[in-house]
């Protein structure tokens, strides 16, 4: 038996048909979408790797649990069930649900911004996190290790903080001006790269020294725990849940988009270790945005599904298959010479498009070009994570310089098979082999905030 990539640890008992389009159809569909894959209809996509967020398949246990979800406003049974699961996993005292990760960011991040000119520091802020830091009147600074940007370098924890730089930043900006340190695990924007336990612990020690709160951005905290188990000495024989609890012990707050490692289609979490005052502030802030603190934009059914999904995502066999399937796709691309972030991350394969299309300058969005090319080639939808996503500096209005121009192929959880990954690999390899034909793009409309979602483009003909 081939154990290099373990087979799906599930049988499929409900299917959703998908449809291939012709190349001619796709040319028209993409043009009508303003050459922005976000504007495509998902039914016009054959294999949809736009995101792993809210796109996973729920289990029979989750669907079953939804039947007992009660009406949720104040103090529903479903809330208390979810609360006990979250407290059990994190070891924290306080919990409130929110509708998704950015809801948690909107409610929580302003609480620590107590004056003008403050900063959040993260390994790398996710795009909505960065947006909410800025909306809260603070600035976002990234502080990841240099190795992260060398895609060929084999490093087990490319999501790690640069500890020397972190301490320098705190001294330079003044500890009283640091609102908090956000540990993004895994580090989404850098390729789903994990952060080691030793690094989390060291960040916490630095934070304690300066009396700065630490926050886990835990969208993929279970995948991060699996990598720790696989790669970090001393964790080989630990249970995933114990690794997760240790991760949480190095933070004061846990924010989560449950649409990833919560294995649900909608949901989010704010959990606070022991700061009652902070919890009370969030309880007040959550009401106008998300809803009463015992439902936070979710209904009882959502909370039931999440209570089950959180535990399923800590199952080691589930996690092994999850990571194997992503690695299977990445290994195929790497073997064909396609430049990818290596080692392959937890939720996605990241193709480096600066190297794939060196003739396209960053301002012409090389990763958008490759993304559009694989849609035209095979109806596969991916997403640009580069200059377009990074946006403009709020002070100078210049494009923020971007080290890597990535195309992310995000794999939904429990949805596609290894055979689908073959189709994806063939398409990307084809585009790679014809990379000289790739063209850059220019704006026909540039959206002022989170511009990658809604801007439109045209190809630059030369
Ligand atoms: C998805 C994500 C978020 C935002 O969550 P949403 O549920 O999409 O609002 C925040 N941080 C990270 C690391 C994420 O991956």
Over the stretch 311-324, which tens digit does the pLDDT of each residue have?
A: 999 999 999 999 99
Q: Is any atom of ligand 1 closer than 6 Å to the C-beta of 126?
A: yes
* Tokens encoding 339: 């430049």
Q: Which of 52, 53, 195 to mutate to test the pocket of ligand 1 (most atoms within 8 A of CB)?
A: 53
Q: What percent of the chain stands above pLDDT 90?
A: 93
- Do residues 142 and 149 touch, judged by C-beta distance below 8 A? no
Q: Is residue 140 part of a domain?
A: yes
Nearest CA to ligand 1 atom 3: 101
Q: Is residue 9 part of a domain?
A: no
Q: Is any atom of ligand 1 closer than 6 Å to the C-beta of 189?
A: no
pLDDT band at residue 393 under the 50/70/90 scheme: confident
pLDDT single digits (tens) 88-138: 999 999 999 999 999 999 999 999 999 999 999 999 999 899 999 999 999
Residue 260 appears among annotated catalytic residues: yes
Q: Is any atom of ligand 1 closer than 6 Å to the C-beta of 217?
A: yes
Q: Is any atom of ligand 1 closer than 6 Å to the C-beta of 369?
A: no
Q: Is residue 322 part of a domain?
A: yes
What is the CA(436)–ligand 1 centre distance, in A?
Answer: 34
pLDDT single digits (tens) 150-198: 999 999 999 999 999 999 999 999 999 999 999 999 998 888 999 999 9
Of 44, 48, 52, 127, which residue is the catalytic one?
Answer: 127
DSSP secondary structure letter of residue 147: G
- Do residues 159 and 144 touch, judged by C-beta distance below 8 A? yes
Same domain membership, residue 272 and residue 160: yes
Same domain membership, residue 303 and residue 375: no
Residue 168 appears among annotated catalytic residues: no
Of 126, 365, 375, 457, which residue is the catalytic one?
Answer: 126
Same domain membership, residue 264 and residue 216: yes
- Do residues 409 and 351 touch, judged by C-beta distance below 8 A? yes
Which numbered atom of ligand 1 lies nearest the CA of 187? 13
Q: Is residue 8 part of a domain?
A: no
Residue 351 pLDDT > 70: yes
Q: Which of 105, 122, 219, 251 to mutate to test the pocket of ligand 1 (most atoms within 8 A of CB)?
A: 219
Tell me the pLDDT of the chain averaged across its residues. 96
Same domain membership, residue 65 and residue 115: yes
Q: Is any atom of ligand 1 closer than 6 Å to the C-beta of 186?
A: no
What is the CA(268)–ligand 1 centre distance, in A?
Answer: 9
**Residue 302: enclosing H or E segment and its boundaries?**
helix 300-312
What is the CA(55)–ligand 1 centre distance, in A?
Answer: 13
Q: Is the peptide bond before 82 cis (omega within 30 degrees of 0)?
A: no
> CATH number for the domain including 405?
3.90.1150.10
Q: Which of 217, 298, 348, 450 to mutate to test the pocket of ligand 1 (most atoms within 8 A of CB)?
A: 217
**Total count of domains within the chain:** 2
Q: How many CB atoms lie within 10 A of CB 385?
A: 27
What mean pLDDT comes out for the span 384-401? Answer: 90
Domain boundary among 248, 278, 312: 312
Q: pTM of the prediction?
A: 0.94
φ/ψ bin of 222: left (φ > 0), alpha (ψ from -120 to 50), beta (otherwise): alpha
Question: What is the extent of the structural domain holding 194?
Answer: 60-312
pLDDT single digits (tens) 40-85: 999 999 999 999 999 999 999 999 999 999 887 899 999 999 999 9
Question: DSSP for 229-252?
Answer: HHHSTT-TTS-HHHHHHHHHHT-S
Residue 242 appears among annotated catalytic residues: no
Same domain membership, residue 341 and residue 232: no
Same domain membership, residue 304 and residue 337: no
Which numbered atom of ligand 1 lies nearest the CA of 189? 13
Neighbour-count burial of 155, counting CB atoms closer than 10 A to its CB (0-12 exposed, 13-18 middle, 19+ buried)? middle
Nearest CA to ligand 1 atom 14: 219
What is the CA(2)–ligand 1 centre distance, in A?
Answer: 34
Which pairs with CB-CB distance under 8 Å and at least 24 residues apart come from 60-63?
60/13, 61/308, 61/312, 62/263, 62/264, 62/304, 62/305, 62/308, 62/309, 62/312, 63/305
Q: Is any atom of ligand 1 closer than 6 Å to the C-beta of 188?
A: yes
Same domain membership, residue 305 and residue 170: yes
What is the CA(430)–ligand 1 centre distance, in A?
Answer: 31
> CATH number for the domain including 175?
3.40.640.10
Let me know the angle formed at the C-alpha of 52 by 433 and 78, rounded to the nearest 5 degrees: 170
Domain boundary among 270, 291, 312: 312
In the prediction, which pLDDT does 1 show? 41
Residue 460 pLDDT > 80: yes
Same domain membership, residue 346 and residue 246: no
Residue 209 appears among annotated catalytic residues: no
**Residue tagged 């960011």 (tokens):** 105
Q: Is residue 2 part of a domain?
A: no
Q: Is residue 371 part of a domain?
A: yes
Same domain membership, residue 180 and residue 108: yes
Residue 126 appears among annotated catalytic residues: yes
Same domain membership, residue 228 and residue 90: yes
Same domain membership, residue 322 and residue 279: no
């Amino acid at each position: 038996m081939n154990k290099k990539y373990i087979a799906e640890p599930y049988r499929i008992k409900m299917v959703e048909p998908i449809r291939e389009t012709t190349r001619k159809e796709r040319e028209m569909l993409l043009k009508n979408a303003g050459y922005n894959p976000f504007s495509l209809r998902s039914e016009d996509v054959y294999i949809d790797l736009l995101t792993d967020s809210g796109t996973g398949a729920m289990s029979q246990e989750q669907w079953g649990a939804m039947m007992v979800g009660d009406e949720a406003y104040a103090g529903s049974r479903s809330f208390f069930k979810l609360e006990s699961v979250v407290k059990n996993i994190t070891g924290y005292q306080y919990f409130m649900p929110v509708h998704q990760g950015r809801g948690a960011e909107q409610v929580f991040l302003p609480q620590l911004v107590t004056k003008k000119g403050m900063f959040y520091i993260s390994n790398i802020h996710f795009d909505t996190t960065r947006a909410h830091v800025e909306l809260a009147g603070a600035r976002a600074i990234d502080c990841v290790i240099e190795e992260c940007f060398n895609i060929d370098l084999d490093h087990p924890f490319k999501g790690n903080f640069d500890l020397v730089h972190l301490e320098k930043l705190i001294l330079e900006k003044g500890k009283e001006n640091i609102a908090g340190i956000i540990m993004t695990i895994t580090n989404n924007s850098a390729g789903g790269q994990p952060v080691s336990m030793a690094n989390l612990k060291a960040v916490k020690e630095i934070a304690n020294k300066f009396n700065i709160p630490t926050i886990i951005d835990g969208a993929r905290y279970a995948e991060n725990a699996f990598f720790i188990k696989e790669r970090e000495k001393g964790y080989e024989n630990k249970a995933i849940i114990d690794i997760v609890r240790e991760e949480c012990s190095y933070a004061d707050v846990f924010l989560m988009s449950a649409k990833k490692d919560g294995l649900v289609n909608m949901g989010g979490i704010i959990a606070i270790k022991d700061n009652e005052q902070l919890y009370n502030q969030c309880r007040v802030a959550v009401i106008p945005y998300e809803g009463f603190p015992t439902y936070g934009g979710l209904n009882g059914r959502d909370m039931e599904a999440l209570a089950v999904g959180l535990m399923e995502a800590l199952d080691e066999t589930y996690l092994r298959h999850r990571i194997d399937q992503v690695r299977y796709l990445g290994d195929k691309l790497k073997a064909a010479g396609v430049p990818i972030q290596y080692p392959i991350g937890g939720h996605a394969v990241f193709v480096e498009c600066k190297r794939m299309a060196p003739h396209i300058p960053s301002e012409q969005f090389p990763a958008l070009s490759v993304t559009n090319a694989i849609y035209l080639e095979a109806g596969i939808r991916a997403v640009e994570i580069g200059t377009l996503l990074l946006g403009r500096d709020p002070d100078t209005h210049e494009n923020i310089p971007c080290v890597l121009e990535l195309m992310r192929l995000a794999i939904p959880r429990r949805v596609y098979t290894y055979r689908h990954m073959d189709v994806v690999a063939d398409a990307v390899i084809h585009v790679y082999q014809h990379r000289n034909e790739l063209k850059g793009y220019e704006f026909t409309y540039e959206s002022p905030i989170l511009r990658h979602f809604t801007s439109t483009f045209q190809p630059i003909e030369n």
